Structure 1
């Protein structure tokens, strides 16, 4: 068996608590394009309006021209429509029963972790399937956007609806930040970074802090990132292959 995989198995065999930090790479194997936004879609960095995608998908643009922001949100959702969680998401859900304390912190807005059965999920950027009114308390969950208007309005008060996701320039939801901080305060024996370039401090922070404390850290990513020289084990493979291998070896590390 691969030496790096053996080291991960050894870490898991001694762990009682595990944090999995996930990014776009884990959903790429479900057919979700990995953003420069939600990716492949905007590799040229600019939209057809001639503005950067980060501007089109910003909070300030949504306030000024919600129809423009919604246009690109619709394109993102359509690119993801019909996709579903993959084996990596399924194994992560199963892992909750194998450790005393097991959480997923994800940047992804596709909702795949919860759909696969994970209960302890901090979707720090929200979920594209959850909509809320910008004026009143109306909210709803939609399976897809196929029946939504180009710029949907609230059926209760007529104000513009928006997806419950963090747009560029916006702050993270305080309730989810608090949940993340409580989980991190309790601590983890092993921290994984999976399929993420780890550009945000709240995404790379748990890995960096664990490494600074001498705790085991693992990166699962076919490419190199800014964490690649920090973690003590790297699995240079996709998330599905990695978790299938770890699950196949579960008799060697499973606690639950």
Structure 2
């Protein structure tokens, strides 16, 4: 196994495998959007490093389905804080590289844990948003739906214009189940049999994220982990690029272009 591969040889090796891949499965987490300036809940620049909130409860409790059912205005308060901290951010170079890989002729399926919608904004067409999208709102009472660029003009909590109910963002809160449609699409992508699996910016703590990668390792399918911080997953894959997502993907794309490997899978 590669361990901490972040040199030119490793990048070239990854580019070589990518050049031969026709069906690429990409799994992305918070590190994918870090280069866009998005803060995490915790860690360097985290919004809730001490685990608490202004209301004296853990952020995971404030952003839980149970709390939303009991005190939706409180949950909306912290959803709004997170959106405001991310407002104005845009897809970064890494998102754009993935979109160009798809346009180059590969089947690129992106499974993301992020709710920022950046993959779609960058131009990727086959995106499975496992945890939803912060900018898509829905009224549980009448099923009214709308897309908003940000929450700047929203009352918090927002009122449904169709029935005066309360809108909620299409996101999976803590203690809620993953959406059936997203799960079904993910299972379909796995059943199609990717010939390369890439994990970007996630420690893959959830079994539904980690197991497909480990299965690919067992089956000899090329696997890559892009993450500045090593995780147990990093030690299992063929190549671990200990780099930020945008830098690693930009370097891989450059290696494809300059080594004669080309943009499309042939």
For the residue of structure 1 that corresponds to 2:47, the secondary structure is: coil
Is residue 2:229 matched to residue 1:223?
yes
Structure 2: segments with no counterpart, 5+ residues: 1-6
Is residue 2:81 matched to residue 1:72?
no
Normalising by structure 1, we get a TM-score of 0.96
1:136-171 superposed Cα distances (whole Å, 9 cap, x missing partner): 110100000011112112111111110000000111
Map of 1:1-256 to 2, 5 A cutoff? 2-36=8-42, 40-251=46-257, 252-255=261-264
- Is the contact between residue 88 and residue 243 of structure 1 (CA under 8 Å) also seen in structure 2? yes
1:73, distance to aligned residue in structure 2 (A): 0.2
Partners of 2:201 and 2:185 in 1: CA distance: 22
Normalising by structure 2, we get a TM-score of 0.92
- Is the contact between residue 130 and residue 142 of structure 1 (CA under 8 Å) also seen in structure 2? yes
Q: CA RMSD in A?
A: 1.6
- Is the contact between residue 24 and residue 35 of structure 1 (CA under 8 Å) also seen in structure 2? no
Partners of 2:215 and 2:44 in 1: CA distance: 28
The higher relative CO (CA closer than 8 Å, separation ≥ 6) is in 2
Partners of 2:150 and 2:206 in 1: CA distance: 28
1:253, distance to aligned residue in structure 2 (A): 4.6
1:92-133 superposed Cα distances (whole Å, 9 cap, x missing partner): 001112344211110000000000000010011110000000
Structure 1: segments with no counterpart, 5+ residues: none
For the residue of structure 2 that corresponds to 1:237, the secondary structure is: coil
1:196-254 superposed Cα distances (whole Å, 9 cap, x missing partner): 11111112222111112121110011111120111110111111111111111223153
- Is the contact between residue 12 and residue 253 of structure 1 (CA under 8 Å) also seen in structure 2? no
- Is the contact between residue 10 and residue 253 of structure 1 (CA under 8 Å) also seen in structure 2? no
- Is the contact between residue 93 and residue 117 of structure 1 (CA under 8 Å) also seen in structure 2? yes
Shift >3 Å, 4+ stretches: 36-39
Partners of 1:156 and 1:14 in 2: CA distance: 51
Number of matched residues?
Answer: 256
